[in-house]
Chain A
């Protein structure tokens, strides 16, 4: 971004200091998140060894004790947290409690597999696509319903907004699966690739992935489109009532310039804040749609981890989810900074 105004360099310095400060602030937050999650999960009744003994009722109390010792479960929770934290600093989340005993990080980010088949990448990719979809659909809808307030279009989008907010995402997924997957048979309803994927040509492979992505991305962005467009509408309405917009109109600028150059920038600020806030919801939602569409992502892995009381796996994914959230917030801050010259100057 080129800054031709006086003091541009100085501003850049400020921006960097601000960013550094924000990055630094993330550390205690992340620490707090892991602390709270760790204690909640470990203080909850029930141990992973319960699941082991459920599966193998013949296990002796001695063998159980031995197992607990092996995992460090016999130590007080704060000692366990200390041990966990020491490893996590090196991005080592420990080994999974499941029968394969693989390192957690390898399960989430399996370097032996292609990038597109790594769990974290799949979840990340779908969330980024949904976010992108939300943006390109919600912003124009919001602008049009604000500039044509009380029109038929505005009323239709308001109805859409109310329904979008009240619609359980998983139910919407079920309906779409029934319609497009079963009655019309246009789209696959589960997995992230077809059985014959390896035999396909490159373009065939891309098409195959796309077909598998359509429903999950649509479902995970539906609520977001409703929320963002509504938000865009109200912030646009607030902006176009302000004096500087009247001034811009009085100068004889075309309505297009007034809306898209002068008003939009300010209205987008509210959206950027909302973007940062909606990251945890999107990540959390991935458990639901990965479960429904049987997509082998991080959400599905988390679900399996929770069901088998796989502490290291659950903690690992919670931490990565929190990190993604914080990065999302940081990106929102950066976006905000570029959009708002007042913050840039600070």
Chain B
């Protein structure tokens, strides 16, 4: 175990893109936590004398239609993105792990029912469903996290199920069972811990897609509602003022792009480092 862990770290550290991505993720995290320290203005300070100003010395990323500082709003918006990303993925991973474990461990009819349920969920144009549900239950941040979470667990469930199918017949599981361990104990203490690596990779990639989804919802006016700033709803202002204020359309998009890109790079890096098929050469 420790041996493969060393190989893993060696491989991951060699992947410069993944390390860069990881550093950006870390910086974004720090910015989000210390938003009120790093942001130059109060994000909701309205300044009617400086409406729709292009980037300048006192407002490096310009101001919006109410004279609010775009940089400060983006810094506070990063909190929303991270919070939605992490909580939604947490919910999705939890649901996926439980259903995948039950499905893979018990097999038979319960597996068939869960797999059919997954097929159904994958056939619903989920974006439609998310839109409908959030419009009905109201678009506060908790609802958005929950709805994104409960509509994106299917990949994790499939992954965990596959891991369980391959692990449940292995000697260490058979030994545990022979020693009289309960199902719950076998599932959590023996199989689950050994299938965490791919789940972790998919969670990292999941954060990226949850952030994308939240920004799309906020852009459509169904996500985070102003005056709370989010990258998506600043872009809505960008669309409304597209002919006069390019900075409102450009900067929040760049922020989303860089954030999502970083999570994807980290996820890909982890995946490559964990893939034993790629371990052969040069290690």
Contact = CB atoms under 8 A, between A and B. Distances in A.
A329 B125 CA distance: 13
B142 interface: no
Contacts of A321: 124-125, 128
Contacts of B215: 168, 170-171
Contact of A175 (B120, B124, B250, B260): B250
23 contacts: A29-B120, A29-B123, A41-B133, A41-B136, A44-B133, A168-B212, A169-B216, A170-B216, A170-B219, A174-B242, A178-B242, A178-B249, A277-B122, A280-B125, A287-B131, A288-B127, A291-B220, A307-B135, A318-B124, A318-B125, A321-B124, A321-B125, A321-B128
A207 B11 CA distance: 53
Interface residues of A, number: 48
Interface in A230-271: none
B43 interface: no
B42 interface: no
B253 to A, nearest CB: 4
A296 to B, nearest CB: 17
B265 interface: yes
Per DSSP, chain B at the interface is helix
Nearest 10 CB-CB pairings of A with B: A284-B127, A171-B253, A44-B136, A166-B260, A166-B261, A32-B120, A284-B125, A306-B135, A321-B125, A280-B125
B129 interface: yes
B100 interface: no
A177 interface: yes
Interface of A: 28-29, 32-33, 36-37, 40-41, 44-46, 162-163, 165-171, 174-175, 177-178, 182, 277, 280-281, 283-285, 287-288, 291-292, 302-303, 306-307, 309, 314, 317-318, 321-322, 325-326, 329
Contact of A171 (B126, B127, B220, B235): B235
B257 interface: yes
Interface residues of B, number: 44
Contact of B122 (A37, A280, A285): A280
Given A44-B137, A302-B131, A280 B257 contact: no
A309 B250 contact: no
A165 B260 CA distance: 8
Contacts of A162: 261, 264-265
A217 B43 CA distance: 36
Given A45-B137, A174-B238, A292-B239, A283 B128 contact: yes
A174 B120 contact: no
Interface in B241-267: 242-243, 246, 249-250, 252-253, 256-258, 260-261, 264-265
Nearest to B260: A166
Contacts of B116: 28-29, 32
A284 B220 CA distance: 13
Contact of A168 (B117, B243, B253): B253
Nearest to B147: A40
B183 interface: no
A277 B126 CA distance: 12
Contacts of B249: 171, 174-175, 178
Contact of B128 (A167, A317, A326, A329): A317
Contacts of A309: 135-136
B123 A182 contact: no
Nearest to A314: B132
Contact of B264 (A165, A170, A284, A287): A165
Contacts of A170: 215-216, 219-220, 235
A303 B253 contact: no
Given A283-B125, A287-B128, A318-B132, A174 B208 contact: no
Nearest to B249: A174
Given A44-B133, A168-B253, A302-B131, A284 B260 contact: no
B136 A174 contact: no
B246 to A, nearest CB: 6
A256 B159 CA distance: 37
B119 interface: yes
B137 A46 contact: yes
A177 B249 CA distance: 11
Contacts of A322: 123-125
